[in-house]
Amino acid sequence: MIIALALLSAGLLAGCDRQTPAEVQPQSASTSAAPAEGASPDGAGPFNGTLDIANRGAAMPDVTFTDPSGAKLRTLDLKGKPVLINLWATWCGPCVLEMPTLDGLAASRTEILRVVTVSQDIDKAEAVGAFFKDRKLAHLQPWLDPDNAMSQHYGTGVLPTTVLYNADGREVWRMIGSHDWSGPRTDALLADTLP
């Protein structure tokens, strides 16, 4: 019980929660395409997500996402290679801060890892598409989850939440809150899952 409360408290400090209005949420220090200066992968500074392995081995849920043009992506079709699913929103400062590092991860591991970013913005397909274009996120697709099915499934109440699945569609870990996906800690987190 104490561990669960500690994880929940740490998670709320590391990201945006769904109950607080957007204008009161933590905001990134910079809206540029690069991480803020002083960001570090060791949990200090603006990247301070919490690693959670409580759901290790859980099956990937069967959810279908769409993109702003109406194309569809079903989670169960992602099996076959490891996949990192990131839940985020345009109004979430920590989400915006880590997005360029996710784009970099997708670019550097394209052959062995699929990175899927899923917006939890409700009824904002145009805003999500514009966000990707403005920030030149060339290695990610703007997937949408307007019913927030994935957020409800994970139940963390915090954005960003990022979940790694192995090639068999089984959960490896969750990162609750923001993380520098370009840092050395990421290499260690992925080492057991990637070939």
Note the pLDDT tens digit of each residue in 105-146. 999 999 999 999 999 998 788 899 999 999 999 999 999 998
Q: Does a structural domain hold residue 38?
A: no
Q: Does a structural domain hold residue 40?
A: no
Q: Does a structural domain hold residue 126?
A: yes
Between CA 26 and CA 115 the distance in angstroms is 24
What percent of the chain shows pLDDT beyond 70? 77
Joined together, the tokens standing for residue 159 give 């954005």
Query: In the chain, how many domains are there?
Result: 1
Q: Does a structural domain hold residue 33?
A: no
Assess contact for 132 and 17: CB atoms under 8 A.
no
Between CA 162 and CA 176 the distance in angstroms is 7
Question: Hey, is 2 helix, strand or coil?
Answer: helix
Residue 54 CB contacts under 8 Å (≥ 6 apart), including other chains: none
Looking at residue 15, its pLDDT comes to: 64
Name the least confident of 31-45, 49-63, 78-92, 166-180: 31-45
Q: What range defines the domain where residue 76 resides?
A: 2-15+48-190
- CATH number of the domain within which 96 lies: 3.40.30.10
Between CA 105 and CA 109 the distance in angstroms is 6
Assess contact for 28 and 36: CB atoms under 8 A.
yes
Joined together, the tokens standing for residue 80 give 């076959």
> Residue 99: pLDDT above 90?
yes
Q: What is the mean pLDDT of residues 12-28?
A: 49
Looking at residue 125, its pLDDT comes to: 87
Residue 44 burial (CB count, 10 A): 10
